[in-house]
């Protein structure tokens, strides 16, 4: 399987040409954007998070990084504390310092892009976690001398303690070097216990898989990206826009939506405020209950409803 290249459902391509990239960069120069807005943050509940073993919680650290506590397990999604991505400086500080984390039991990786898989961050984690990773990415972890690495194909399930972890489809792609495009897979994760079910969507364009995930699981909290969508002619196959994120949430049948993947890095031309404004406008247009939309502050901890 060393030379295998992975694909999306229905073989949907996210490939772009050098000409496409050049046209985007040219288009970006003509735009004037207000970058003054910063996503609000709060002081994290460090002592509580370090000692909590009984109360289910979700804490937004920033971008696609969450600390999820369920059934006595400390779970991290796509841990990235990087201060820069390439030449771009991080726009907001992480909501929780990496040294303030409790010992981590499980790390969930959605795919290999640098804003989701950051070696320096995972190397600093406390504990001896299991790394649950997409198929094709296991060798990268083993070469870095990480232990307890489990690879997943789409729909594979692993039980750890009292929790089940399922790797779910997404519409995206992967690349870390010049030669490894799509050599590992991409996806999201469903964390399922006897009381709560959380769906972490990873990175994805809008696709039919959201409905199938919702049909297979009774989801309580849907953690879904809303940023990095502009220009849509370039990004739409790989990143949902805010309206598509709301539709994807509805497709899953989840009780609550938690937006993510905005405010930390400028990956595309949209701004955090634009993403939030479009999401709120579409939410209200659909006349959805506002209490079902959980827009978290960076560093905020949400205690899960029974």
In this model, does residue 1 exceed pLDDT 70?
A: no
pTM above 0.75, yes or no: yes
Per-residue pLDDT tens digits for 172-194? 999 999 999 999 999 999 999 99
Q: Could you give the CA distance from residue 54 to residue 59 in angstroms, rounded to a whole number?
A: 15
Q: Give pLDDT, residue 83.
A: 95
CA pair distance 162, 105, nearest whole angstrom? 13
Residue 52 has pLDDT above 90, yes or no: yes
The percentage of the chain sitting over the pLDDT mark of 70, rounded to a whole number, equals 99
Please say if the pLDDT value at position 21 is more than 90: yes
pLDDT 10s digits, 141-166:
999 999 999 999 999 999 999 999 99
Question: Per-residue pLDDT tens for 250-294?
Answer: 999 999 999 999 999 999 999 999 999 999 999 999 999 999 999
| Domains of the chain, each with CATH number or no CATH | 45-303 (3.60.15.10)
| pLDDT at 107 (0 to 100) | 98
């Amino acid at each position: 399987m060393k030379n295998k290249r992975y694909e999306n459902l229905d073989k949907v391509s996210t490939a772009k040409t050098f000409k496409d990239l050049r046209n985007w960069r040219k288009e970006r120069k003509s735009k004037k954007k207000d970058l003054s807005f910063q996503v609000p943050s709060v002081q994290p509940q460090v002592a509580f998070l370090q000692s909590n073993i009984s109360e289910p919680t979700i804490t937004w650290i920033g971008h696609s990084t969450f600390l999820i506590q369920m059934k006595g397990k400390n779970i991290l999604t796509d841990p990235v504390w990087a201060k820069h991505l390439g030449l771009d400086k991080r726009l907001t500080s992480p909501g929780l310092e990496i040294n303030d984390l409790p010992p981590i039991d499980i790390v969930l990786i959605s795919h290999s892009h640098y804003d989701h898989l950051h070696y320096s961050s995972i190397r600093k984690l406390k504990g001896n976690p299991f790394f649950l990773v997409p198929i094709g990415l296991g060798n990268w972890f083993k070469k870095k001398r990480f232990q307890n690495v489990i690879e997943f194909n789409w729909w594979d399930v692993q039980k750890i303690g009292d929790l089940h972890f399922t790797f779910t489809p997404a519409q995206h792609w992967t690349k870390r070097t010049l030669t490894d495009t799509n050599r590992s897979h991409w996806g999201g994760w469903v964390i399922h216990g006897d009381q709560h079910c959380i769906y972490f969507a990873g990175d994805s364009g809008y696709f039919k898989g959201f409905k199938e995930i919702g049909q297979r699981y009774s989801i309580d909290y849907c953690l879904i990206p809303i940023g990095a969508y502009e220009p849509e002619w370039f990004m739409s196959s790989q990143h949902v826009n805010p309206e598509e994120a709301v539709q994807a949430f509805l497709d899953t049948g989840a009780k609550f939506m938690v937006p993510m993947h905005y405010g930390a890095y400028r990956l595309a031309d949209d701004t955090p405020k634009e993403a939030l404004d479009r999401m709120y406008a579409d939410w209200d247009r659909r006349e959805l209950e506002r209490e079902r939309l959980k827009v978290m502050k960076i560093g905020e901890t949400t205690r899960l409803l029974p």
